[in-house]
């Protein structure tokens, strides 16, 4: 279970970096959060976890990652 969470966090972080192309930190946070939530839910579903939990973790990581990235 810990590996699943770590994999979801790593994937969410990667997607938030890739989504760092918004004009403002708020835009990047929303974009990163949405991408992270989708990725987290997908990873959780594929690995037998709970998609809602994966979406929450991935969305949180993606939103924070998107907000702190530079333009």
pLDDT one-digit tens code per residue, 3-33: 666 666 666 666 655 555 677 888 888 888 8
Q: Is residue 60 part of a domain?
A: yes
How far apart, in Å, are the Cα atoms of 54 and each of 21, 48, 49, 70? 24, 11, 8, 26
Q: Is residue 21 part of a domain?
A: no
How far apart, in Å, are the Cα atoms of 70 and each of 13, 14, 28, 59, 63? 14, 14, 9, 19, 13
pLDDT digits (tens, 9 = 90+) for 43-71: 888 888 888 998 999 899 888 888 887 77
Q: Is residue 33 part of a domain?
A: yes
Domains contained in the chain, number: 1
Q: Is residue 55 part of a domain?
A: yes
The whole-model pTM stands at: 0.68
42: containing domain: 2-16+26-68
């Amino acid at each position: 279970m810990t590996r699943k969470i770590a994999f979801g966090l790593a994937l969410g972080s990667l997607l938030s970096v890739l989504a760092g192309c918004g004009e403002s930190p708020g835009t990047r946070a929303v974009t990163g959060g949405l991408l992270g939530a989708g990725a987290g839910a997908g990873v959780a579903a594929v690995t037998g976890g709970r998609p809602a939990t994966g979406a929450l973790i991935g969305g949180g990581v993606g939103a924070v990652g998107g907000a702190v990235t530079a333009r």
